[in-house]
Structure 1
Amino acid sequence: MTTPDARAADAGPTALPAHALVGYLHSSFANGSGYTRLADVPDSWDVIDLAFGEPTSPTSGDIRFSLCPRSECPNVESEAEFKAAIKAKQAAGKKVLISIGGQNGQVQLTTAAARDTFVSSVSAIIDTYGLDGLDIDFEGHSLSLDADDTDFKNPKTPQIVHLISAVKTLKAKYGAGFTLTMAPETFFVQLGHQYYGTGKWGGQDPRAGAYLPVIHALRDELTLLHVQDYNSGPIMGLDGQYHSMGGADFHIAMTDMLLTGFPVAGDANNVFPALPPEKVAIGMPASTNAGNGHVPTAEVNKTLDCLTKGTDCGSYKPHGTWPALRGLMTWSINWDRHNNEEFSKNFDAYFG
């Protein structure tokens, strides 16, 4: 296995292709899409997120990962085959990450002890499998803001502060070649334009915008942010209008917010700064089975045309054109294979 220091030379976003395709691989469970061995993942995928590492309890910080049990996935590979497949993918220039969380893996680092356990347990997974880094896919109730925590630039909620500290420690441990990605839901990011935490007068959902302090504190360490533009309610864009899933408009509006920056909780004096396009990908479901908000390939391409070329933008006009937009993320590699690889084949055709 290549040491992290040896990988550091091709560090950060430059280690990825100019336009990258990111996908989640159901490695620890099966569902209707079927189990896919890592060795059988098509070459289209540049970043492969192993789903999922999950905690022993929500507040333990103790993350565990194991391959799908044979009773659930009869065609699961052996540990040795899995490790060999990781090396082969890396030799082909791919990044293989452990994704922490998911729908069922609630992670709340409420204490310093949980933070330290998180660092040691995630390190153990990375070292055991020789992985390139970490994807933070915290959903549900993993992140929420204390009532007095109102400034995303200076968070004080323990579970937020400890997560930032833990990730900075991991990045420092593995060096510049450590790949760090995040897959928050719109509720935790773009909704923060309108609502942040419980709000000035209380009563709001404390999870609203709760990823913003994490993204902001780690923006230098971050390789890629790919917000899940799916399973989302309507979200207000920079045009003051609500945007709903189902077409290019939603993806354009949501991504424009990340690439332009936006006032948090409507405060023009408190702006979440724009992320560089090289650090942004757009999260979409691979098929109608994979999640609410799937759009046809024509709408995927309209989204990319608008954001990277400034053409075919429809009713929403973004605040710039970003040819360096990194690419797309999808849930999931398995659902894409189940759907005749429509999503990945379209990506390959679009970017040549």
Structure 2
Amino acid sequence: MPPHTGHSRRVRWAASGALALALPLAGLTATPASAADVNNVKNAGFESGLTNWTCSASSGTTVGSPVHGGSAALKATPAGQDNAQCTQTVAVKPNSTYTLSGWVQGGYAYLGVTGTGTTDVSDWTPDSTSWKQLSTTFTTGASTTSVTVYTHGWYGQAPYYADDISVYGPDGGGGGDPAPTVPAAPGGLSVSGTTSSSVSLSWSAVSNATGYNVYRNGTKVASASGASATVTGLAASTSYSFQVTATNSAGESAKSAAVTATTAATGGGGGGGSLPKHAVTGYWQNFNNGATVQKLADVPSAYDIIAVAFADATSTPGAVTFNLDSSGLGGYTVDQFKADIKAKQAAGKKVIVSVGGQNGTVSVSDSASAANFANSVYSLMQTYGFDGVDIDLENGVNATYMSQALRALSGKAGSSLVITMAPQTIDMQSTSNAYFQTALNVKDILTVVNMQYYNSGSMLGCDGKVYSQGSVDFLTALACIQLEGGLSPSQVGLGLPASTRAAGSGYVSPTVVDNALDCLAKGTGCGSFKPSRTYPGLRGAMTWSTNWDATSGNAWSSVVGAHVHGLP
């Protein structure tokens, strides 16, 4: 969420349409190797630097963190017209089938193979804050004795990391890294939290594991890349038994010792307490950047959720604090601020604290920082009377530990807790993205995701076509990804700038917002994209910001607010 003119993360689409071909094939698991199979890639984990690898334009180096396995990983940085491609020629046997696999993190990342003699293949993923496996298979031609394996990023995007690259199949005779052994069973399985419909689990990481499977009463119900997971869709007041296994390309471990958890009797259900069916969210600026300076009392009644922007990072990892900018807000005192929060709540509104923004640097990347986040946000709720928290971390989230943090906060605050999110468009392009994963992980306590339909350029819609921001189609086709990707319609809102000055790009007139809402909720007012069904439970809309709205005479909230509250 921009504190001034806004961020700008534009994606350059390939002329060939490579990115538009399909959404990422995340979650594929490498086919277990047979006893005779080997990994034909040399220096697959980059433990010997870039030996056996060649990277374009000196774009590659090795780093000690983050790593997926061992003590090193590849870091490759796209620059200018270079996409940071790193390659290795790998010896293979003719007429043979191989599984290409690797782990990536960071910016857009591709893994592929050329020179197969048949059909060359690849897999890719958008940017990710946690390690993600890419995997595909290929068959060599009758005279193929070597192939070229490659990784690369995307023009103008962030650096990517790669580790543990493998081409498993018959020994090509060129040597390679030894095949992994089946991992040991995980230890330390424990219950880290429960709601009426979910159980959160954690366990000790297994050194050579690349993933984990979670079993409920003996049946596999979830997979995880890290040492924690949340199982949802459970019945209230019910006892369940859980076990975990570790996996890699060699196979799956034995099951861990079992733990038993009993779900709560009540609670959860989407969170948010007494919000109306259709709600409007507005960000209130705790700073003066040229927009109208407001007290909370000045925010129009059209806003059902007011997100106070922003909490500040502290020197403690994951922890946040809040400092009212009294001098920048014309002498607005903390006592007045607290009183205004109570008055808004008495009028049926929710006031939450937003964490992040364009310049936010809060990092929740392990269990300790997750606990610090939960404890510090709950402390702010007690101090100021906030109803909950908004997650607006534009530098990325760690799905495992942010989910852990929000569940810990929910355990402290109860079922009335309001949790909102404001991801960028690029963060919600696929359910494999960390932001989307976080939303799905906490779906039972999540109030609404108000994706930012601005400062983003062109993006994929749920129909695989590319749409440009600033149109009804851009709003509806991208919202469709969330609506069909697992979020409830009541958890989806459209986030737009309140004026042309509120963001760098993406402003549309309130009428366009209303048309998009009607298209999604009622099937009317659509552009060229028409959803396959309607979503009458759609939550509503969000704007940055109430201050920019006021600068324009509240033109946004007076039009969109009335329309949202009039939806079926």
Q: TM-score range by the shorter chain?
A: 0.7 to 0.9
Q: Which residue of 1 aligns with 2:341?
A: 86
2:273 equivalent to 1:40:
no
- Aligned equivalent of 1:275, options 458, 478, 487: 487
CA distance 1:77–1:313, shift in 2 (3 Å): same
CA distance 1:313–1:10, shift in 2 (3 Å): closer
- Aligned equivalent of 1:168, options 407, 428, 432: 407
Higher RCO (CA-CA < 8 Å; seq separation 6+): 1
Q: Is the 8 A contact 1:226 1:282 kept in 2?
A: yes
Q: Is the 8 A contact 1:37 1:76 kept in 2?
A: no
Q: Which residue of 1 aligns with 2:325?
A: 68
Note the alpha carbon deviations across 1:134-160, whole angstroms, 9 max, x for none: 1111102x33xxxxxxxxxxxxxxx43
3-state SS, counterpart of residue 44 of structure 1: coil
Q: Is the 8 A contact 2:326 2:332 kept in 1?
A: no
CA distance 1:220–1:346, shift in 2 (3 Å): same
Q: Is the 8 A contact 2:285 2:309 kept in 1?
A: yes
Q: Which residue of 2 aligns with 1:201?
A: none
CA distance 1:224–1:127, shift in 2 (3 Å): same
Q: Which residue of 1 aligns with 2:472?
A: 248
Q: Structure 1: any 5+ residue segments left out of the alignment?
A: 1-7, 144-158, 197-208, 262-273
Name the structure with the higher strand share: 2
* Aligned equivalents of 1:218, 1:12: Cα separation in 2: 10
AA in 1 matched with 2:480: D
3-state SS, counterpart of residue 494 of structure 2: strand
Distance apart, 1:114 and its partner CA: 1.8
RMSD: 1.9
TM-score by length of 1: 0.80
2:389 equivalent to 1:177:
no
Note the alpha carbon deviations across 1:33-92, whole angstroms, 9 max, x for none: 0321011111111000000012125x721201111141x33x241111111100000000
- Aligned equivalent of 2:425, options 186, 205, 208: 186
AA in 2 matched with 1:174: A
* Aligned equivalents of 1:349, 1:167: Cα separation in 2: 32
2:322 equivalent to 1:98:
no
* Aligned equivalents of 2:522, 2:269: Cα separation in 1: 28
CA distance 1:213–1:11, shift in 2 (3 Å): closer
Q: Structure 2: any 5+ residue segments left out of the alignment?
A: 1-266
TM-score by length of 2: 0.51
Distance apart, 1:298 and its partner CA: 2.2
Q: Is the 8 A contact 2:271 2:418 kept in 1?
A: yes
* Aligned equivalents of 1:62, 1:308: Cα separation in 2: 38
AA in 1 matched with 2:299: V
1:185-334 equivalences in 2 (<5 Å) = 185-190=424-429, 192=430, 209-261=433-485, 274-291=486-503, 292-334=505-547
AA in 2 matched with 1:125: L
Distance apart, 1:325 and its partner CA: 0.9
Q: Is the 8 A contact 1:11 1:177 kept in 2?
A: no
Q: Is the 8 A contact 2:476 2:520 kept in 1?
A: yes
AA in 1 matched with 2:386: L
2:383 equivalent to 1:136:
no
* Aligned equivalents of 2:506, 2:317: Cα separation in 1: 33
Q: Which residue of 2 aligns with 1:22?
A: 281
2:308 equivalent to 1:53:
no
Name the structure with the higher helix share: 1
* Aligned equivalents of 1:258, 1:13: Cα separation in 2: 19
Q: Is the 8 A contact 1:109 1:160 kept in 2?
A: no
Q: Is the 8 A contact 1:21 1:45 kept in 2?
A: yes
Q: Is the 8 A contact 1:181 1:223 kept in 2?
A: yes
Note the alpha carbon deviations across 1:281-336, whole angstroms, 9 max, x for none: 11111110111101012211211221111112121011211122111011010010
2:332 equivalent to 1:77:
yes
Percent identity reads 43
1:105-116 equivalences in 2 (<5 Å) = 105-116=360-371
CA distance 1:42–1:76, shift in 2 (3 Å): farther
3-state SS, counterpart of residue 235 of structure 1: strand
Q: Which residue of 2 aligns with 1:148?
A: none
Aligned length: 298
AA in 1 matched with 2:281: V
Structure possessing the higher radius of gyration over alpha carbons: 2
* Aligned equivalents of 1:349, 1:163: Cα separation in 2: 34
Q: Is the 8 A contact 1:189 1:211 kept in 2?
A: yes
* Aligned equivalents of 2:437, 2:379: Cα separation in 1: 27
